[in-house]
Amino acid sequence: MVVRSAELCAADAGPSQATARLFERVVGAVTEFCPRVEVLEPGVCAFAARGPARYFGGETIVARKIVAAVAGLGVDCRVGIADGLFAAGLAASEPAASGLAAAGLAASEPAARDAPAARDAPDGPDTPDAVTLVLPGGSPEFLGRQPVTVLDDPDLAGLLRRLGIRTLGDLAALRERDVASRFGSAGERAHRLAGGHDPRPLAASSPPQDLSVSQEFDPPETRAEPMVFAAKALAEQMHARLRASGLTCVRVEVHASWADGQENTRLWRHDGLLTAVQVADRVRWQLDGWRAAPPETRSSGLDCAIDTLGAGGGSGGGGETELKAEVEAEVEVEAEVGVGVGGIVLLRLTPDQVVRATGQQLALWGEALVSDRVARAALRVQALLGHEAVLRPVLEGGRNVSEQVTHLAFGEERDISRSREQPWPGQIPGTAPALVFPAPREATVTDENGSGVTVSGRCVLSAPPRQLTVAGEPKRAITAWAGPWPLAERWWDPEHASRRARFQLVTDDGRAWLAAVNQGRWQIEAGYW
Same domain, 447 and 490: yes
237 found inside a domain: yes
Residue 295 has pLDDT above 70, yes or no: no
364 found inside a domain: no
Q: What is the pTM of this model?
A: 0.47
Same domain, 7 and 64: yes
Condensed to tens digits (0 to 9), the pLDDT of residues 244-255 reads: 777 777 788 888
What's the CATH code of the domain at 342?
3.30.1490.100
CA distances to 73, 309, 329 from 315, in Å: 39, 8, 15
DSSP conformation letters of 416-459: GGG-TTS--TTPPPSSPPSEEEEEEEEEEEE-TTSPBP-B-TT-
3-class DSSP assignment, residue 361: coil
Same domain, 394 and 346: no
Same domain, 85 and 18: yes
Condensed to tens digits (0 to 9), the pLDDT of residues 355-403 reads: 666 555 444 444 445 555 677 677 778 777 777 788 888 787 778 887 7
Last residue of a domain, one of 403, 427, 451: 427
Q: Identify the CA nearest to 419 among candidates 395, 393, 391.
A: 395
- d(CA 9, CA 299) in angstroms, rounded, equals 30
- d(CA 22, CA 220) in angstroms, rounded, equals 25
Residue pair 311/172 in contact by the 8 Å Cβ criterion: no
3-class DSSP assignment, residue 226: helix
pLDDT in the model for residue 341: 58
Same domain, 12 and 103: yes
Residue 92 has pLDDT above 80, yes or no: yes
Same domain, 408 and 449: no
Same domain, 504 and 423: no
Condensed to tens digits (0 to 9), the pLDDT of residues 416-434 reads: 667 777 777 777 877 788 8
Last residue of a domain, one of 118, 146, 174: 146
Strand partners, 455: 461
Same domain, 403 and 480: no
Same domain, 449 and 346: no
Pairing state between β 498-507 and 247-258 = unpaired
In terms of residue numbers, what domain contains 457? Answer: 435-527
pLDDT bin (cut points 50, 70, 90) of residue 296 is: very low
326 found inside a domain: no
- d(CA 256, CA 215) in angstroms, rounded, equals 10
- d(CA 243, CA 15) in angstroms, rounded, equals 30
- d(CA 180, CA 176) in angstroms, rounded, equals 6
Q: Identify the CA nearest to 255 among candidates 272, 236, 231.
A: 231
487 found inside a domain: yes
How many residues belong to the chain?
A: 529
pLDDT in the model for residue 427: 79
Residue 506 has pLDDT above 80, yes or no: yes
Same domain, 420 and 352: no
Could you tell me if residue 443 is left (phi over 0), alpha (psi between -120 and 50 degrees) or otherwise beta? Answer: beta
Last residue of a domain, one of 126, 146, 166: 146
163 found inside a domain: no
349 found inside a domain: yes
Condensed to tens digits (0 to 9), the pLDDT of residues 40-76 reads: 777 888 888 888 888 888 888 888 889 898 888 888 8
499 found inside a domain: yes
Condensed to tens digits (0 to 9), the pLDDT of residues 154-212 reads: 888 888 888 888 899 889 898 888 888 888 878 888 888 888 887 654 444 445 567 88
pLDDT in the model for residue 477: 92
Question: Total domain count for the chain?
Answer: 4
Same domain, 412 and 443: no
- Averaged pLDDT score across all residues of the chain: 74
197 found inside a domain: no
Residues ≥6 apart with Cβ < 8 Å to 197: 84
Cis status of the peptide bond prior to 484, with omega within 30 of 0: yes
Condensed to tens digits (0 to 9), the pLDDT of residues 233-281 reads: 888 888 888 887 777 777 888 888 888 888 888 888 776 667 777 788 8
Same domain, 422 and 342: no
